[in-house]
Amino acid sequence: MKSLSEIETTVKRASKAAGYSWGVSEETGKSIRLLELFSLPGIKHLNEYLNKKNKSKFENLNLISENNSSSNNPYCPITLGVSFLDQINVLEKLKKIEFKNVAYPIIFISFISRSSEIIGKKINVKIDEKKMLLNLNVNIISNFIDQEFPKIANKIEVNLLENEDNFTDDEWNNLYKLSEETFVEESDSLKEGAAGAGLTDND
């Protein structure tokens, strides 16, 4: 089994050989490493994409807006991913972003997952009719289980979620009230044992 370090290094070198800059190649290495860590087909899809890259035309999107559509050739998932990663602090304010016609979207997803960690928010992604929840780059929850990831996504919808508790105020208050039973009132003996108490002065 290949180590994650070996995967990242090989992907970086292969991406550079395919024509990307060292900076972009390094980001691609980190992203594909992430996919393989989560048992997603990063190497498989990157292999297919790089083999097609010089034979087919793919569009580069450098400046991302709320609605992005490529009517002719599919977007390059690597350039798109790096752009998303670089612009995430601005894109966060849009809340919802759409992309149409994206090649090998699983590669793009890895960059979005890393962006989730940067802004400290969960990101909900819909690829055509399939959904994924990116949780601060800690895990990826998906209903793609046992299904092949598409090579072309007609539409990708990215929703940046606001941080909210997953429980009600009543549930929290009840739990906190129970926790109060462990609180100990300060007594004279506790005061005597406080920091600095009982130390011998050696002067």
Which residue, 89, 142, 138, 143, is CA-closest to 114?
138
Residue bearing tokens 């390094």: 26
Under 8 Å CB-to-CB from 114, ≥6 apart: which residues? 30, 31, 34, 85, 137
Chain center to CA of 36: 13
- Is residue 104 a contact partner of residue 78, using CB atoms and an 8 Å limit? no
pLDDT of residue 139: 86
pLDDT of residue 11: 97
Kindly report the CA angle at 200 between 197 and 203, in degrees rounded to 5?
130
Tokens of 91: 């894109």
Average pLDDT, the chain: 90
pLDDT of residue 182: 87
Which residue, 110, 58, 64, 106, is CA-closest to 88?
64
Under 8 Å CB-to-CB from 2, ≥6 apart: which residues? none
Tokens of 178: 């129970």
3-state secondary structure of 74: coil
Across 32-171, the runs of DSSP E, i.e. the strands, are 67-69, 96-103, 123-127, 130-135, 139-142, 152-160
pLDDT of residue 116: 95
Listed as ranges, residues in the chain with pLDDT below 70 are 145, 185-203
- The whole-angstrom separation of Cα 121 and Cα 142 is 17
Q: For residue range 160-177, list pLDDT tens digits in order.
A: 998 889 899 999 999 999
Q: Which strand ranges, in their side-by-side order, compose the sheet holding 67-69?
A: 67-69, 96-103, 152-160, 123-127, 130-135, 139-142
pTM for the whole structure: 0.84
Total residue count of the chain as it appears in this document: 203
